[in-house]
């Protein structure tokens, strides 16, 4: 189980804390403090943010600000986190053809694979996950948010592999 506040307490002076990197695990995962972050997208990665304190996000795929506790942005989906509480993040590949150095996009170039989703409670979505060094091996990754929006789970092929709490 990952406690966002517990992990952030271990970071002297504040800032993000990486719990997994592409080099070590084949995905990025960590926690970050509340605050403002620059608008961006990742051309090759799905980007997931979970903030039990909530978030307000502007997205190129939406005409109004999106508010909730869990955000899922497909590759290329540009978003601007206007208000963001302390958070947990996960970034991973879904397409073996896109495996490479993550390509951060700082301007919305219209190259989205789909819309940004933001949920406040009782939400689940499935992806195929591809490990960058084990090409050809695809697995089903499910990200879910509990009804109260205070607990996030990640399942790999149906088995819970990560639980995140405030």
Mean pLDDT of 147-162: 93
Where are the domains positioned within the chain?
2-119
Domain spanning 2-119, CATH architecture: Sandwich (2.60)
pLDDT at 15: 87
- For the chain, the average pLDDT equals 88
Question: pTM here?
Answer: 0.89
CB count in 10 Å sphere of residue 74 = 19
């Amino acid at each position: 189980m990952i406690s966002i506040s517990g992990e952030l307490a271990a970071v002297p002076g504040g800032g993000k804390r990486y719990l997994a990197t592409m080099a070590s695990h084949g995905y990025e995962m960590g926690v970050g403090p509340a605050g403002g972050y620059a608008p961006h997208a990742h051309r090759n990665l799905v980007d997931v943010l979970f903030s039990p304190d909530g978030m307000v996000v502007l997205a190129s795929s939406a005409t109004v600000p999106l508010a909730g506790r869990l955000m899922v942005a497909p590759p290329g989906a540009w978003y601007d986190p206007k208000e963001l509480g302390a958070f947990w993040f996960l970034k991973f590949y879904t397409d073996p053809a896109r495996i490479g150095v993550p390509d951060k996009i700082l301007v919305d170039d219209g190259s989205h694979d789909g819309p940004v989703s933001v949920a406040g409670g009782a939400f689940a979505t499935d992806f195929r996950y591809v490990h960058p060094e084990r090409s050809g091996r695809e697995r089903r990754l499910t990200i879910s948010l509990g009804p109260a929006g205070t607990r996030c789970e990640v399942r790999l092929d149906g088995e819970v592999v990560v639980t995140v709490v405030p």
